[in-house]
Homo-oligomer: A and B are copies of this chain.
């Protein structure tokens, strides 16, 4: 997690953000759909497009496809096309994708252990001003 002003080209900060590894990581897993897809495949193993779509309630076709392409590009999952009629496509986590489940588990545990405190803090804060 870089919090430095080094490597910043004069006048632009985009490169600062883009060159930060933690920033790239957040781009990968720091959004709803990516994390849900990873967890779903972590639990379900190899899954078809339609299975993922059903499992992850509320995701639009566009977002699911876009998310899957991004994760495939990052090498976190594989896309396997079976040229039957109709076509069948399966998705599965790579070893790299599987390795990400471990740090995500720590986050999950933190959330489970502390989200109640966060909720209390929010209620307290909102009561005082709002």
Interface residues of A (CB under 8 A from B): 1, 3-5, 8, 13-14, 16-17, 21-26, 28, 30-32, 35-36, 39-40, 43, 54-58, 72-76, 96, 99-100, 102-104, 106-112, 114-115, 117-118, 120-122, 124-126
Q: Which chain B residues border A112 with CB–CB below 8 Å?
A: 21
The main secondary structure of chain A at its interface with chain B is helix
Contact check, B118 vs A96: say whether CB atoms are below 8 A apart.
yes
Q: Which chain B residues border A16 with CB–CB below 8 Å?
A: 57-58
> Which residue of chain B is the closest to A96 with respect to CB atoms?
B117
Q: Which chain B residues border A31 with CB–CB below 8 Å?
A: 26, 30
User: Which of A54, A100, A124 has the most chain B CB within a 10 Å cutoff?
Assistant: A100
